[in-house]
Structure 1
Amino acid sequence: MTDPIRIDVWSDIACPWCYIGKRNLENGLAAVAAEDDPPAVEVTYHSYELSPDTPVDFDGDEIDFLSGHKGMPREQVEQMLDRVTQVAAEAGLEYHFEHVRHTNTVKAHELLHAAKAAGRQHEMAERLMSAYFVEGAHVGRIDGLVDLAAEVGLDRDEIRQALESEQYLPAVREDQAQAQSYGITGVPFFVIDGKYGVSGAQPADAFAQITRQVWAERTPAAVATSD
């Protein structure tokens, strides 16, 4: 049996394009899964902090943050967020930037690694991004993260202990070092089967196409081996 295609995704919880890219990837994979000879795919999420110097409790809204971080006028930031909201809607996501509570995301990344160890990383990534962009939840404090972890079936006490002890912080740093070695300077970034790099929130069709291509490249080898 042919090994699954591995898709490694570098992203940040607080990156609006990362959630859009996540949903487009899922929609693209769903499309090819309905075809004849559907490819087997294994998706793993990796940590990338866009703004590691952000305080846990940022004093201001998303426009304040981006205005200061990017040096852009508020009006320009508002236009940019309106555009992102529109693109998100096209992907089936309902963003509410007016409720977003900007925060440091390192603990959320630690939680993603804890969830990965428990076999719940995909559910955890979805819950964190939805909480941040749709619900306006605070995803930088341990108490809130424990609540979100419990919602996807993770053990409260185990998660709290892992976050308080920084058990998975080395794994976060390892992901970041890997991103640096790949030359990744922005997210989302997708590494397909260790040989194709895809940058940005590409349309679902693009993800479907490259998945078909990689699977087709593997098929002749698999047939030859069986012969």
Structure 2
Amino acid sequence: MTEPIKIDVWSDIACPWCFIGKRKFEGGVAAFQADADAPEVIVEYHSYELSPDTPVDFEGSEIDFLAEHKGMPAEQLRGMLEQVTGVAAAVGLEYNFDILKHTNTVKAHQLLHYAKAQGIQLQAAERLFSAYFTEGRHLGRAEDLADLGAELGLDRADVLRSLNEDEYLPAVRADQAQAQQFGINGVPFFVIDGKYGVSGAQDPDTFAQVLQQVRSERAEEIPA
């Protein structure tokens, strides 16, 4: 049996390009696996905080937050968000920045690690991205995240316990330390088969080509 190709993805729930990159990556995997003989692709998400100093309850809009952190005029930021919304729509995503609740994402990252331990990390990542960018849900508070955990079929009380105890905070910090070791300074960042790095929300073809390259190199390593 062909060994699966492992993909490690560093991302942040509050990163609009990470959700877009997720969709484009999934498109690349689908194209690669259109060949019935293609190996399985296994994905694991890792924690990266774009703005770790963000308060849990930020008072203001997304434009207010960006203006404060980037020092750019509101009108310019509004145009940027409209552009990102259009790019998201092109890959089937609905972004609603007008209702988005900017928050600290460290608890959301802990929920992703909790979900990984339960074998549903990919479903949790998808749910959190949608909740944040499309539904305007608050992803910084343990109670709200426990509600989302319950929607995923997790034990709400145990999710709440885990988040309140910071059970998976060491795992979040370990991911962040590994990102530093790899020199990752922006997300999304994809590490493919432990040796190829792909930065940003690249087109599906790019991901498909890298996966095919890994497959070809493996074939060359097989003794004749």
Runs of 4+ in 1 over 6 A off after TM superposition: none
Q: Which moved more, 1:168-177 or 1:79-88?
A: 79-88
Q: Give the Cα separation in 2 of the matches to 1:64 and 1:45.
A: 29
- Report SS of the residue matched to 2:28: helix
Does structure 1 residue 76 correspond to structure 2 residue 76? yes
Match of 1:27 in 2: 27
Cα distance between partner residues in 1 of 2:36 and 2:4: 16
**What is residue 212 of structure 2 aligned with on the other side?**
212
Deviation at 1:221, TM superposition (A): 2.5
Structure 1 position 107, deviation (Å): 0.1
Equivalent AA in structure 1 for residue 107 of structure 2 = K
- The superposition leaves residues 68-106 of structure 1 with CA deviations (integer Å, 9 ceiling, x where unpaired) of 111110011011101111111111101111110000000
Task: State the partner residue of 1:149.
Answer: 149
Gaps of 5+ in 2: none
Question: SS of the counterpart of 1:24?
Answer: helix
Partner of 1:186: 186
Q: Secondary structure at the match of 2:43?
A: strand
Q: Deviations over 1:24-80 (max 9, x none)?
A: 111111122122422211110000000000000000000000111111100110111
1:132 Cα shift?
A: 0.2
Residue 43 of structure 1 aligns to a residue in which SS?
strand
Match of 2:49 in 1: 49
Measured after TM superposition, the shift of residue 220 of structure 1 is: 2.9
Identity %: 65
Match of 2:158 in 1: 158
Give TM-score scaled by structure 1 length.
0.96
Cα drift, residue 155 of structure 1: 1.1
Match of 2:10 in 1: 10
Superposed CA RMSD? 1.0
Range with bigger deviation, 149-158 or 61-70:
149-158
Q: Which residue of 2 aligns with 1:202?
A: 202
